[in-house]
Amino acid sequence: MPKITKPFFEYIVDAVSKNYLIIAAITSYTQAKWQTANLPFGLGKTTLAMDFMYILCGGKRDDLFNGTTEQRVWDKVHKLLCYNPYALAELLEPGSERKDGVVYDDVQATAPAASSVPIAIRKLANFISTERPEVPIIFFTTPNLNYIAAPLRKLVNF
């Protein structure tokens, strides 16, 4: 993990403007100042990822707080959600139009940590790390980073 020297959103702005790739995992487990209950669901991981995507897709941050979000932006966000490795690979197809970002929700459900990782998961991780994916940021959601397959887990920057 990189040494954090600026706010997270500045890293995202750099990724968008300078063609970087950031992979951020949103978990319900933390070793920070306040420990969570490490509950598997219902703590807002997907909601947070979608809120980030709402802003990346052109929505206004304040809209999220005052309940005046735009449906056209949410429609765009929903097209950038995926729930399995194949759907993620489709969104990252080389040569496709660059997307604002992607959310791979509940990674542990379709790419769990196991002693033997399927070749497809290894190939996906290799593709993400060696090619220039068509996104500046990929959000993974998972209850705990240790629950996802090692090749994907090793890609996480934040």
Look at residue 114 and tell me if it is in a domain. Answer: yes
User: pLDDT tens digits, residue range 89-145?
Assistant: 999 998 889 999 999 999 999 999 988 899 999 999 999 988 777 899 999 999 899
Number of domain units in the chain: 1
∠ Cα 84 44 58 (to 5°)? 75
Helix (H/G/I), strand (E/B), else coil: 42: coil
Residue 123 is part of which domain span? 8-153
Mean pLDDT for the chain overall: 88
Both tokens assigned to 142? 């998972």
User: According to the model, what pLDDT value does residue 32 have?
Assistant: 53
Output the CA torsion 125→59→44→29 (10° steps). Answer: 50
Compute how many other C-beta atoms are within 10 angstroms of the C-beta atom of residue 31: 6
Mean pLDDT score, 38-55: 82
Partnered with residue 112 across adjacent β-strands are 148
What's the whole-model pTM score? 0.88
| Residue 49, domain CATH | 3.40.50
Band of residue 2 on the pLDDT scale cut at 50, 70, 90: low
Q: How far apart are CA 14 and CA 118, in angstroms?
A: 33
Output the CA torsion 98→78→62→2 (10° steps). Answer: -60
